[in-house]
Amino acid sequence: MARNAFVTLLSQASYLPGTLVLHHSLQATQTIYPLIIMITRSLPEKSRQVLDSLGIPVREVEALHLPAQRYDQSQTEERFTEIWTKLR
């Protein structure tokens, strides 16, 4: 596998279409670097199967959440709950 890569996080099935567009765009540019998708346990199996069927490499990562005493999740929209996982 190449030393450089494009990497993105996919933790919800609703973001799968955008991930597939990214994959298609990178293929269209004929980049030499692979696209690697970080996934969390919360990603449904059906989404994983789509990625697998397209030969897109995935790496399961543990979700990263800030400590509750330092970060009030209730003040943030639901879609941002796993945003810190991108740091993995």
Which pLDDT band holds residue 8 (cuts at 50, 70, 90)?
very high
C-beta of residue 65 within 8 angstroms of C-beta of residue 28: no
Q: Are 37 and 51 in contact (CB under 8 A)?
A: yes
Give the tokens for residue 34: 């692979």
CATH of the domain at 53: 3.40.50
Number of folded domains that form the chain: 1
Is 1 inside a domain boundary?
A: no
Q: What is the pTM of this model?
A: 0.74
Write the pLDDT tens digit of every residue in 13-51.
999 999 999 999 999 999 999 999 999 888 999 999 999
Full domain range(s) for residue 74: 6-87
pLDDT in tens, 42-86: 899 999 999 999 999 999 987 765 556 555 555 555 555 666 566
Classify 9 in phi/psi space as left (phi over 0), alpha (psi -120 to 50) or beta. Answer: beta
Structure tokens, 44 = 């449904």
